[in-house]
Amino acid sequence: MNQSETVSSLVQVIIAGNRKAAPELAKKLLQSGMDAYEIVTAACSPAMERVGELYQEEEYFVPEILMSAKAFEAVMEILKPLLLEAQGQYSGTVILGVCEGDIHTIGKNLVATMLEAAGFKVIDLGKDVPVDRFIDSAVEYDADIIGASALMTTSMIAMEDIVDRAKTKGIRSKIMVGGGPVTQSYADSIGADGYGKDAKEAVDVAKRLMEG
Amino acid sequence: MSGGIPDRVPVSIVSSAWVFSTYGLDLQTAYKDAERMTEVWRGFNRDFGADAIVLSLSSTVIPSYFGTTWKFPKSGFPLLMEPAVKEMSELEELQQIDPSKDEQLQACYRHGTQLVEEFGDERCVWFMTTGPLSNAARITETEFMMECLIEEPDFVRDLFRFSVDAWKIAVKPILEMGVDVVDFSSSPGSPDLISPRMYREFFWEFDREVIQWIHEYGAKAVFHICGNTLRIIEDMAKTGANGLSIDSMLDMSLAREAIGKKTALVGNLDPANILMNGTPDDVIAASLEAMKIGGINGGFVLAPGCDVPPTCPRENIAAMINTATEYGGYPLTY
Ligand code: B12
Measured CA to CA, the distance from residue A21 to residue A38 in angstroms comes to: 19
Please report the pLDDT score of residue A63 as a whole number: 95
Three-state secondary structure string covering B273-326:
HHHHCCCHHHHHHHHHHHHHHHCECECEEEEECCCCCCCCCHHHHHHHHHHHHH
Please give the interface size between A and B, counted as residue pairs whose CB atoms are below 8 Å apart: 40
pLDDT in tens, B224-255: 999 999 999 999 999 999 999 999 999 999 99
Is residue B73's pLDDT more than 80?
no
Are the C-beta atoms of B54 and B15 separated by less than 8 Å?
A: yes
Q: Which residue from B minimizes the CA distance to A56? A: B192
Q: What is the pTM of this model?
A: 0.89
pLDDT band at B3 (very low <50, low <70, confident <90, very high): low
pLDDT band at B16 (very low <50, low <70, confident <90, very high): confident
Please report the pLDDT score of residue B262 as a whole number: 87
pLDDT in tens, B46-59: 998 888 999 999 99
**Is residue A188 classed exposed, middle or buried when 0-12, 13-18 and 19+ CB atoms within 10 A define those classes?**
exposed
> What is the SS3 assignment for B221?
strand
How far is C-alpha B262 from the geometric centre of its chain's CA atoms? 20
pLDDT in tens, B114-141: 999 999 988 999 999 999 999 999 999 9
Low-confidence residues of chain A: pLDDT under 50: none
Q: Which of B73, B150, B192 sits opposite A101 (nearest CB)?
A: B73
Q: Which domains, and CATH codes, for chain A?
A: 3-85 (1.10.1240.10), 93-211 (3.40.50.280)
Is residue B286's pLDDT more than 70?
yes
Percent of chain B at pLDDT > 90 equals 72
Between the CA of B27 and the centroid of ligand 1 the distance, in Å, is: 24
Q: Which of B79, B194, B272 sits opposite A62 (nearest CB)?
A: B194
Are the C-beta atoms of A181 and A153 separated by less than 8 Å?
A: yes
Q: Which residue from B minimizes the CA distance to A18? A: B151
User: Which residues, other chains included, contact B227 with Cβ-Cβ below 8 Å and sequence gap of 6+?
Assistant: B190, B191, B192, B193, B247, B249, B250
User: Which residues, other chains included, contact A4 with Cβ-Cβ below 8 Å and sequence gap of 6+?
Assistant: none
Ligand 1 atom closest to B76 (CA):
77
Please report the pLDDT score of residue A96 as a whole number: 98
Q: Which residues of B touch A62 (CB under 8 A)?
A: 146, 192-194
Please report the pLDDT score of residue B28 as a whole number: 76
Q: Which amino acid type is present at position B161?
A: R
Is B147 in Cβ contact with A153 (below 8 Å)? no
Please report the pLDDT score of residue B2 as a whole number: 59
Percent of chain A at pLDDT > 90 equals 74
> What is the SS3 assignment for A195?
strand
Q: Which of B76, B149, B193 sits opposite A101 (nearest CB)?
A: B76
* Average pLDDT, integer, range B248-267: 91
Q: Is the bond into A63 cis (omega within 30 degrees of 0)?
A: no
- Sorted by where each begins, the domain ranges of chain B are 17-235
Q: In Å, how far are B18, B98, B314 from B21, measured between CA atoms?
A: 5, 29, 11
Cα distance from B66 to chain A (closest Cα, Å)? Answer: 21
pLDDT band at B1 (very low <50, low <70, confident <90, very high): low
Helix, strand, coil % over all residues of chain A, rounded to 5: 60, 10, 25
Please report the pLDDT score of residue A67 as a whole number: 94
Residues of B with CB under 8 A from a CB of A: 71, 73, 76-77, 79-80, 143, 146-147, 149-151, 191-195, 198, 272
Q: Residue B197's closest CA among B245, B167, B153, B144?
A: B153
CATH of B17-235, one of 3.30.2320.30, 3.30.1300.10, 3.20.20.210, 3.90.1560.10: 3.20.20.210
Q: Which of A58, A63, A153 sits opposite B146 (nearest CB)?
A: A63
Are the C-beta atoms of B301 and B264 separated by less than 8 Å?
A: yes
Is B191 in Cβ contact with A63 (below 8 Å)? no
Q: H-type helices in chain B, by residue range?
A: 16-22, 27-30, 34-47, 61-66, 89-93, 103-119, 132-139, 142-151, 153-176, 196-198, 204-216, 233-238, 252-259, 280-294, 314-327
**B245: β partners:** B224, B266
Q: Which residues of A touch B192 (CB under 8 A)?
A: 62
pLDDT in tens, B74-121: 766 788 999 999 999 999 999 999 999 999 999 999 999 999 999 998
Measured CA to CA, the distance from residue B84 to residue B62 in angstroms comes to: 11
pLDDT band at B29 (very low <50, low <70, confident <90, very high): confident
Measured CA to CA, the distance from residue B8 to residue A19 in angstroms comes to: 56
Between the CA of A57 and the centroid of ligand 1 the distance, in Å, is: 17
